[in-house]
């Protein structure tokens, strides 16, 4: 289980990497194509982590209520619903699937 100290250390590490990257990388020398690619990397990493946490349990594939909740959240985000509506919808769908 991840402790708060580990979460804090990871937070500081990610923030530190962003600060170092912002200071050391001269964005004027990077082409527009690469700027587009680099802008998509953080979202790709987040999607990969969410997907991994959604469909695995104890190192094996697990398709359960979490997948339904994340799907509901994705649909709400795609339709540009407010964050509160998205979270409530995802929680409600997850609870409903678990109840069934």
pLDDT at 1: 53
> What's the whole-model pTM score?
0.62
* Contact present, 70 and 90 (Cβ < 8 Å): yes
Task: Give me the tens of pLDDT residue by residue for the chain, a chain 100 residues long.
Answer: 567 788 788 888 888 888 887 777 776 777 888 888 878 888 888 888 888 888 888 888 888 999 999 999 999 999 999 999 999 999 999 999 999 9
Quick one: which H or E segment has residue 56? Answer: strand 56-57
- Give 60's strand partners: 57
pLDDT at 19: 80
CA distance 41 to 92: 30
* Cα dist from 77 to 15, 70, 92, whole Å: 25, 10, 15
Identify which of 70, 73, 54 has the alpha carbon closest to the alpha carbon of residue 62. 54
């Amino acid at each position: 289980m991840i402790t708060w100290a580990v979460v804090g250390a990871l937070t500081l590490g990610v923030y530190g990497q962003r600060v170092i990257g912002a200071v050391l990388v001269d964005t004027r020398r990077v082409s527009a194509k690469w700027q587009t690619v680099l802008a998509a990397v953080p979202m790709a990493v987040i999607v990969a982590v969410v997907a991994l946490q959604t469909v695995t349990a104890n190192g094996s594939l697990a398709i359960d209520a979490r997948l339904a909740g994340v799907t509901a959240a994705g649909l709400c985000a795609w339709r540009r619903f407010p964050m509160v509506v998205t979270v409530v919808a995802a929680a409600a769908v997850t609870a409903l699937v678990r109840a069934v």
